[in-house]
Structure 1
Amino acid sequence: MNQLLAIRVFARVVESGSFTKAANSLDLPKTTVSKLIRELETHLGVRLLQRTTRRLTVTADGTSYYQLTNRLLHQLEDIDQGFSKAQGLPRGKIRVDIGGSTATLLVIPALPEFFARYPDIQLDLGVSDRPVDLVSERVDCVIRGGPLGEQLLAVRRLGEVSWSTCATPAYLARHGTPTHPKDLAHHQLVTYHSAASSRQIPARFQRGDERHVVEGKGLISVNESNAQLAAALAGLGIIHTFGYTVKAAIARGELVPILADWQAEPYPFHVLYPPNRHLSNRVRVFIDWLVERFAQID
């Protein structure tokens, strides 16, 4: 038995709660995962996992063994990272989950600079706004926008972005240009709804002490910022979105900003990661780079 591999496999099964998920994340056959767990239990002389056709639970001995061996795995990673530092730069793969427009417009275009700085790091980007179980899906960190409620995850603030309200010149020529948020009640809006809850995210406007919240109706509602931009460019209505999303289209004259004197509070972005997972040096430098990147947003 390869005991170190068996320990790593056992840790992955505990964290994912599934033999199948553990096998997929480790790129191993499920039969190999099962065999290694059986051999580890035989070697230790204790039952680590209780398995039925419907449920997998960790025994008391399994919990103790996981806690002790997990420390060892982290120490081994520290040792590996120490040698990597001695030989140069951090290395290895990082699994990141990130929203669509944040990925395509902010992070991916700047990645050549990151890879020039850290050529031995590989990124596995999951582009979505869906809720992610970081532990079971073995995701190192997620980048999310919006106010944070009570969190079970560790959080680091990345920065904040401004809002922009705009439409195509053709749309405004047909329907007129709003001069006040109340005017939006008579316009078609390309609304945005949460991928997690399907609830519409209202557009918020502020000028001095005056505030307005607009939940409009339109021909289309989307749950992803790139799709919202595409709908606006197709002339389907007015969008209220992140300034960086429409910056290039405004510069090309494809979209026209409106209600510029009405600005909502900037929208915060954070990176979240499991609080009990060892934060490797490669993840740490990636998060530091993200903070730098968000500081460059106009």
Structure 2
Amino acid sequence: MDQLSAMRVFVRVVETGNFTRAAATLNMPKTTVTNMVQSLEAHLNTTLLNRTTRRVMVTTDGALYYERAMQILSEIDELDGSMSNSQMQPKGRLRVEMSGAFADLVVIPALCDFYQRYPQIRLDIGVGDRLVDYIAENVDCALRAGTPQDQSLIARKVGEIPLSTYAAPFYIEKFGEPLHPKDLEEDHVSVGYLNAQSGRVLAMEFCQSDEVVEVTPRYAVSVNDARSYVNAAIAGMGIAQAPRFMTKDAVAKGELIEVLSRWSCTPLPLYIVYPQTRHLSNKVRVFVDWLVKLVQGLKAEDHPEPLRKAS
């Protein structure tokens, strides 16, 4: 048995959901695909797949084997690629983790451009701000806002995200506007953003000339998702300091109004992180370079004028 070929066949069966589709994509007879998976199971002395008349189900052992097989095959593809002509297009599976808001509003709308440039890269995007086991989950890299604290990761800064401070018209009508950042600790309520790594609500930082003010705002509700954070502010649950690319539609509709506009917000740094045990492969490198140009488009001057400005 050619175990490497059998691994590739098994992976394709899992990804397509049945033997017929796997055989078609591999350009193999269905019987060959079936026999190769059976030989792999016999070699491993375990059942990787449960077959029914309608579908194929992955067993617990099969799921574990799939993840490790994907990691091995990905490393082999990268090794082959590094030995190939440098002019060849990067190819293979690229697993990236990022926040849902950044994926939906920035990356996914521009993906056609990336695919036209690199049609042989298959991009798997995991959405969320959760902690990731890069090795066990076979994640190539993650896009993270804020300075990384995990010293086991290599981090490359790809840009900065402009921030502003907002409140809903309903909130302003009821509580008025803050005149100074320190008001957020005393007379106003904010929406808290809960950091997934520290489990703490993030502080807000304001700048004016040479003065820098950091406040720990009082909050009635905290969330750990950027979209929920902005929606809570729109609902009038408090003042929020949010990325301008996320709030431009709400500002244009009059759902949010910028407050404390005389104070600038420290931009949120954006990093690509990946484990030290993995070199920066060609496919990761071209994705990062493409992402840098994409982030450069998130300029503060792109923010639309609100329907009504706060005084």
Q: Report the TM range for the smaller structure's normalisation.
A: 0.7 to 0.9
SS of the residue aligned with 2:255?
coil
CA-to-partner distance for each residue in 1:241-267, whole Å, 9 max, x for gaps? 222221222122221001112123222
1:34 shift after superposition: 7.3
> Comparing 150-159 with 255-264, which one deviates more in the overlay?
150-159
Q: Which residue identity is paired with 2:153?
A: L
CA-to-partner distance for each residue in 1:135-171, whole Å, 9 max, x for gaps? 1100111001112336222222101112211011222
1:3 shift after superposition: 4.2
SS of the residue aligned with 2:139?
coil
Q: Which residue identity is paired with 2:82?
A: D
Report runs of 4+ in structure 1 exceeding 6 Å deviation.
30-34, 69-73
- Corresponding residue of 2:102: 102
CA contact (8 A) 1:167 1:257 kept: yes
Q: How do residues 34-113 of structure 1 correspond to structure 2 at under 5 angstroms? A: 36=43, 74-79=78-83, 82=85, 85-86=87-88, 89-113=89-113
Q: Which residue identity is paired with 2:211?
A: E
- Corresponding residue of 1:210: 211
CA-atom RMSD in angstroms: 3.6
Paired with 1:285 and 1:151, the residues of 2 have a C-alpha distance of: 24
SS of the residue aligned with 1:291?
helix
CA-to-partner distance for each residue in 1:188-238, whole Å, 9 max, x for gaps? 211111123321101111222333222223331101110001111112211
- Corresponding residue of 2:27: none
Is 1:238 the counterpart of 2:242? The answer is: no
> Alignment identity in percent?
39
Equivalences, count = 257
CA contact (8 A) 1:179 1:259 kept: yes
Paired with 1:75 and 1:116, the residues of 2 have a C-alpha distance of: 24
Q: Which residue identity is paired with 2:263?
A: W
1:31 shift after superposition: 9.4
CA contact (8 A) 1:168 1:256 kept: yes
- Corresponding residue of 2:70: none
Unaligned runs of 5+ in 2: 9-13, 19-36, 46-72, 300-311
* TM-score normalised according to structure 2 size: 0.70
* TM-score normalised according to structure 1 size: 0.73
Paired with 1:132 and 1:204, the residues of 2 have a C-alpha distance of: 27
Q: Which residue identity is paired with 1:133?
A: D
SS of the residue aligned with 1:174?
helix
| Residues 36 and 278 of structure 1: CA distance in aligned 2, closer, same or farther (over 3 Å) | farther
CA contact (8 A) 2:180 2:260 kept: yes
Paired with 1:70 and 1:119, the residues of 2 have a C-alpha distance of: 17
- Corresponding residue of 1:284: 285
| Residues 244 and 125 of structure 1: CA distance in aligned 2, closer, same or farther (over 3 Å) | same
CA contact (8 A) 1:166 1:240 kept: yes
